[in-house]
Structure 1
């Protein structure tokens, strides 16, 4: 399994300048390649192959006065920029032809120097290295100070250097990790995700919704109000933009930390985890969009999935059209639809009183068990 390990970088002033050159050169090569392919398409010429594009955008471009400065950065950075362009075109063509599942992919777009996120990637061909002193040596940039929060499990195959909107630099290493199975547990859990509670588990536990964005709204509003009063193009406006970006970065970091801690606890304690497959994109188009984006369900479910695969646990999603709020988890009789304001109800068949969220998580667990196959190939049905 391939995973990414992210660490904070602290480049010096000279190294920040060298990284800015690398960001700019990669962006220019990407845009030049995209423009060349668009012009060939408009003129009815054959599609430029990856090899021809590489020769024209890097090898030949460096010999021209207009692009001679491309030689100031590592060639691997330029190669990876074209590799990203080629991947974007392949994904677009596969989506148009129906070979790629999921939502339709848009054609590649030009990159802007005003983008809030700038990245460059170094592979092993660039001969990046981690020094004995714990620094990251990058070609034509130097040894950059790195804050190590954990050890790398194996030799990294590539590293991506990123600058975010708040001016922070990060190094993201791609490493190959083996499975680390945990001691087998006996418990199985169903997880019902919501807004009132972030997650309700089938054993009755309720995880409060931290509402990181809602709690930071006053601070964000103050920073954005100060930004709106700064003159465009001024130094004070640039400082205000960074201040707003840092506030948003703090919210995102807190949310990610919460997701990691909760997903790790669930995977560590339970052998099998079932989660309802929510239509997050559809919910994000409703009046609940701000709250839906605040909880970050998709990122949390992705963490559960890859951690389950790594630590030898079973993870599965159940259908999103499951009537979990209408079905009794004791007798499995569908009791009919109920408004969202009803948080507790009594089954008309067995007279069992249910908590709405706990009952839904137990239905998710029962549905997940029913979809699994036993050793003889038959379905595993929950006991009535």
Structure 2
């Protein structure tokens, strides 16, 4: 895609099948938010919903004693999320944080493969994931292997391989179907980290034949700061893990939810609201728009001075984020914010731009790219 003029970007917006989603979010005037993987825009009427919760929800909870509010909210969230990530509601638990859920998923994998002595976690997962993975290895008496390349792993000893679907630094996306199939041939379970993908890319855990998965409830899912995370256990593994023998009948399995703490009802309510913003939208539609936004941005910055567009690893495609390397990245982020473009800084020298298909327009991306070019050209002249 090459969109060199504002009218061309506007034309893309006119043809955008997801353009109507934008009105479902609260977008401050004068700001272009390219920070979708840090939380992004709030769903519409968030403030009013929080006030209503504070004024009425506790009294309603006292009046309805037949089921805890958090359990009802968790089931609703699981049902909405299941549609977005290609899972059964009974395979999902909405609770805790992503890293805590990773701990539980790794422990579950060790129980499923007790004859294997190692847990493998990709270095492209979050640092907090690595920390909890060390705890999981210590708890299960296994060895933790952190790796860059799958080929370096001793598969005869590995119970599970945990991979980030989208690399948090480069934005590169793995091929989940081919990767899962190759690892299954080695007798290894596969655990996908979906935090940087769900809500922006086409995620289908059943089609991938995934064994386990975890992900956060904020970023592209709209749950906001402190949103509960989720974890997935494929139904085929649940009986071995001690799950209730009920099948996918809408009841959360004991295997997936048996040792989760009760999440905040307030946080669950906001996650449910955020997921509702994506009602009626398919993962394929989200991914198609994400790809268009990213291509437009990259094309506009190909010849920008003083900056390197971090490429995906060989054999991988680019996901919903673009990272630029610049020696004065922190200053660039500050200059962009002063001009109304919100992005992330990753120490020591990366600017990270995230493209949420639910609220961004092509014209937003075009204008943001122009501002980035202006800042980079100014710094280049001053150097």
Coarse TM-score class (shorter-chain normalised): under 0.3
TM-score, normalization by structure 2: 0.24
Name the structure, 1 or 2, with higher relative contact order (CA <8 Å, separation 6+).
Answer: 2
